[in-house]
A and B are shown apart, each in its own frame.
Chain A
Amino acid sequence: DQQVKQNSPSLSVQEGRISILNCDYTNSMFDYFLWYKKYPAEGPTFLISISSIKDKNEDGRFTVFLNKSAKHLSLHIVPSQPGDSAVYFCAIGQGGSEKLVFGKGTKLTVNP
């Protein structure tokens, strides 16, 4: 059973618009939440994170939102750029373990 779900395999947006990527999780013990970006033929690259004591974290064009009651995580990219085209993975960790549980990923395409 998947503990971390990214229900949209793909997303296409126009350059300059907002991209919203979503992630749902099942285990309320998870307490650290991250997004990774992956280009073809490369390993995932860490993008942004948030701990369970916050509900929002911002870094430039990227903002992560956490809704603990809904067990929902989202990544907003504003404005989207063609270079943002990649596969985005949400990943979740739990205190006491170094293990991350990843979703299956969402392929984002930003059209010029």
Chain B
Amino acid sequence: DTGVSQNPRHKITKRGQNVTFRCDPISEHNRLYWYRQTLGQGPEFLTYFQNEAQLEKSRLLSDRFSAERPKGSFSTLEIQRTEQGDSAMYLCASSPGWGNYGYTFGSGTRLTVV
């Protein structure tokens, strides 16, 4: 297993377009997280899945954002009608168990909205 994989690594899109990112966690990890990091800030929590169930969502996750983990394996994060303020690094992480905060992060998807 090569760790948490995120695709694409970079995405440039025009304002108003929809984008979708994919995350493949470590195979035996049942917990999956999405974070967003903007320049000069630390990662900010977006949402968390245990298997296929989305159990926590941040208020940062507006109606334009949706995340899924349909079979409890890979996850997708979709942003509809992108805005320039959505430009950020989107990080996915996974962990094997409850309260195990020592996540393994992927390298992230950098989104630029022009």
Query: Are B45 and A42 in touch, CB under 8 angstroms?
Result: no
Interface string of B55-76 (1 = CB under 8 A from A): 1101000000000000000000
A87: nearest chain-B partner, CB-CB: B42
Query: Are B56 and A99 in touch, CB under 8 angstroms?
Result: yes
**Helix, strand, loop or mixed for chain A's interface?**
strand
A99: nearest chain-B partner, CB-CB: B45
B46: nearest chain-A partner, CB-CB: A99
In the bound complex, how far is the Cα of B45 from the Cα of A14, in angstroms? 34
- In the complex, A52 has a CB within 8 A of chain B: no
Residue in B40, B58, B93, B99 whose beta carbon sits within 8 Å of that of A104 in the complex: B40
Query: Are B48 and A98 in touch, CB under 8 angstroms?
Result: yes
In the bound complex, how far is the Cα of B35 from the Cα of A82, in angstroms? 29
Residue in B40, B41, B101, B107 whose beta carbon sits within 8 Å of that of A91 in the complex: B101
Query: Are A102 and B44 in touch, CB under 8 angstroms?
Result: yes
Interface string of B18-55 (1 = CB under 8 A from A): 00000000000001010000001111110010000001
B41: nearest chain-A partner, CB-CB: A104
- The interface residues of chain A lying within 8 Å CB-to-CB of B104 are 46
* A90 CB to nearest B CB, Å: 8
**Helix, strand, loop or mixed for chain B's interface?**
loop
Q: How many A-B residue pairs have CB under 8 A?
A: 57
Residue in B43, B102, B106 whose beta carbon sits within 8 Å of that of A102 in the complex: B43
- The interface residues of chain A lying within 8 Å CB-to-CB of B98 are 98
Query: Are A32 and B101 in touch, CB under 8 angstroms?
Result: yes
In the bound complex, how far is the Cα of B45 from the Cα of A41, in angstroms? 19
* A110 CB to nearest B CB, Å: 21
- The interface residues of chain B lying within 8 Å CB-to-CB of A105 are 42
Given known contacts A98-B33, A100-B45, is B56 in contact with A32 (CB within 8 Å)? no
Query: Are A34 and B101 in touch, CB under 8 angstroms?
Result: yes
Q: List 26 A-B contacts (CB under 8 A).
A: A32-B101, A34-B101, A34-B102, A42-B107, A43-B4, A43-B93, A43-B106, A43-B107, A43-B108, A44-B43, A44-B91, A44-B105, A46-B102, A91-B43, A91-B101, A93-B99, A93-B101, A95-B99, A99-B48, A99-B56, A100-B45, A102-B42, A102-B44, A104-B40, A104-B41, A104-B42
